[in-house]
Structures are given as structure tokens and as C-alpha cells.
Amino acid sequence: MKLHDAVTRYIDHKRALGMRFKAEDFILRALCRSLGDVTLTQIQAEPMTAFLNGCNPVEITANWHKKYNVIKGFYRFALSRGMAQTSPLPRHVPQRTAPAFVPYIYSQNELKRLLEAVPACCDGKVSVQADVFRALLLLLYGAGLRLEEALSLTTNDVDLYQAVICVRETKFYKTRLVPLGMDLTFALAQYVGARGSNSFDQPSAPFLCPA
């Protein structure tokens, strides 16, 4: 079986189980582009290792391990269904040479400096207006939303009277309610007022309008 066809079957299988599988899809499609239109039996260890190493074969990062685990899952699927006889993945998984990512939480002073820099970032060179960019930063910081979640919000998802946001079908297609603090609710109300009621007449319209 061709690599592309096997990858497509694997991705469809995972999504049928309720997984979004977006990052994994990206990695596996990149693998297909890297190795070309080959059958699974043609794939050798050397090109597979080259794909895992990428542009920096010396440094083993979290991205290396992410790619390895995604492809390992694919081969587990392929081997169990007779699509492949062996796996070309390296048997020895090296330890990371790069330090692990450590999350950084911005202080209120740092957030204030970011917000003060917004007008300079939106001076006509970009298509996003300053008040929209400011609202986006406040949502990411104050509500703990992922970037894609914030950008996907519609007018109907944001209830400022109840001080709650409905985040729909995100990871594993789950929907959750996110309560808003008083300061964030007030800031978003100011944003809505500045944009004008016409921008929020349609319930399905994006809450963060680009312009």
C-alpha cells in the first residue's frame, strides 16, 4: 500500500474515534511529502531518520519526539492491519539535548506594557485594528483561551451579561463554559461599545472582527 493511502486511512480512523488530529495530520502529511509516492515496504530507516532530524540532526528536541510518537502510532496501526511488515523508525529513542519548554506567565506589569504597545503594532501596516488586537490579548491572558479558540468565538458565544464565554468543540470536540472576571468583562464591554452595535448584529459573526 502507498504511504499516502495508508496515512489517509489512519487519519480517518482517528477522527472517526472523535479526535481532531490536526497536528498529527500535519506531521504525517509532511512525512508523505518528504518520502514521496512510495509504498510502505520501500521506506528505509535512513530517510525516516532524516525526516525526524529535520534541519538540525544534532539537537534532539520536543518536536523530534512529537514526530516520532506520531509516526510510531501510525506504524502500530499499519502493522496491526498488515499494511506493513516492519517499522523503519529507530529502535533507540535518544534523550533530548535541548532544554524542555518551561511555560512563562506574564505579570500584570508585562501585560500592561504589551497593551501599551498595541497602537504602535496596528499603525496601518496590518489589517487588524488596535481595539481588536487588544481584546484578543485580554482574552488570551484573562480567560486562558488558546489562540484558535479566541479567534473562533462568535458574537453568540460571548455573554457579557452572564460574564461567561462558550468555547465550542475544541480539543476532542468538547464544548466548555469559561467564566469571566469583572475586569475582563468590563474591558470586553468597552470593546463592544467601541465597535458599535452593527458589528454584533449577527449571532454567527466573529466576535473579534479583523477590521
Q: Is the pLDDT of residue 211 over 60?
A: no
What is the DSSP secondary-structure string of 50-90? HHHHTT-SS---HHHHHHHHHHHHHHHHHHHTTS-SS--S-
CATH code of the domain containing 185: 1.10.443.10
Task: Identify whether 139 is part of a domain.
Answer: yes
Which of 6-15, 114-123, 156-165 has the least mean pLDDT?
114-123
Domain region containing 187 = 108-200
Cα 46 to the center of its chain, rounded Å: 30
Q: For 191-211, what is the mean pLDDT?
A: 79
Q: How confident is the model at residue 57 (pLDDT cuts 50, 70, 90)?
A: low
Query: Residue 72's closest CA among 54, 84, 56, 55?
Result: 84
- Using CA atoms, how far apart are residues 148 and 27, in angstroms rounded to an integer? 19
How many domains does the chain contain in total?
2
Task: Identify whether 210 is part of a domain.
Answer: no
Task: Identify whether 90 is part of a domain.
Answer: no
Residues 58 and 112 in one domain: no
Total-model pTM: 0.60
Residues 22 and 67 in one domain: yes
Residues 170 and 117 in one domain: yes
Would you mind telling me the total number of residues written for the chain in this entry?
211
